[in-house]
Chains A and B, each alone.
Chain A
């Protein structure tokens, strides 16, 4: 399967700890997105990269969240000093410029903060 891969699938952590998630997009895709989804809600936009440049970041995103895509391929999302409210499914998606914004989603990383 050459779709979008996310690692880990599940992460349980204690409040105050730092966590990092990884996303490997479809290889030729130049756009990469991070979304967060909580129970009963739709995915909420967090941030977006075009190649290695982070072009947009949600105003709702806390300073504890940071994302990188250093070589324009895989991306990492780090959450520092996790809080219980950070518990959610973190989704990664990728797309190709000119593909009319068809996003391909990964299966997500389920974060539980105890």
Chain B
């Protein structure tokens, strides 16, 4: 069965620090990969996605993620975080079926 692991449960950074959130999945076939974000008091929204092609994908608000097939990973990165990036971040995987499997999420707190 598919599964998604997010290693960091809570990350605390100061503004301007660099961010990397880990995501690993277990599935041997073709996958589509996503990062969703949930800002405080708001609903989940798509940050970025990978379907095919360039394994380095860029999303909104300066985020990017790299798909490394050999490591079954899709880590999220941002070179310099802002206070407004405080949110919960979810990695998700879609396999052959038309539904997403989500990780447990990583809570990011950015200190001004």
Interface residues of A (CB under 8 A from B): 3-4, 31, 33, 35, 40-45, 48, 50, 55-56, 91, 93, 100-108
Task: Find the A residue at minimum CB distance from B90.
Answer: A42
A4 / chain B contacts, CB cutoff of 8 Å: 43
**Chain A CB within 8 A of B44 CB:** yes
B34-65, CB < 8 A from A: 34, 36, 42-46, 49, 51
Instruction: Mark each residue of chain B from 19 to 37: 1 if its CB lies under 8 Å from any CB of chain A, else 0.
Output: 0000000000000101010
A45 touches B44 (CB 8 A): no
Selected A-B contacts with CB under 8 Å, 19 pairs: A4-B43, A33-B99, A42-B4, A42-B90, A42-B103, A42-B105, A43-B44, A43-B102, A45-B99, A55-B98, A56-B99, A91-B43, A100-B32, A100-B49, A101-B32, A102-B46, A103-B44, A103-B100, A105-B36
CB distance from B4 to the nearest CB of A (A): 7
CA A40 – CA B104 in complex, angstroms? 7
Is B72 positioned at the interface, with any CB of A under 8 Å from its CB? no
Q: Is B77 interfacial (CB-CB < 8 Å)?
A: no
Interface residue from A31, A42, A103 paired with B46 (Cβ < 8 Å): A103
Contact, CB under 8 Å: A44 / B102: yes
Q: In chain B, what residue has the closest Cβ to A50?
A: B98
Task: Point out the residues of chain A lying under 8 angstroms from B104, CB to CB.
Answer: 40-42
A80 to B52, CA, bound (A): 42
Among candidates A31, A43, A107, A108, residue contacting B90 with C-beta atoms closer than 8 Å: A43
Query: Bound complex: CA of A56 vs CA of B4, how far in Å?
Result: 20
Q: How far is the CB of A84 from chain B (nearest CB, A)?
A: 21
In whole angstroms, what is the CA distance A45 to B92 when docked?
11
A95 to chain B, nearest CB (A): 9
Chain B, residue nearest A106 (CB):
B43
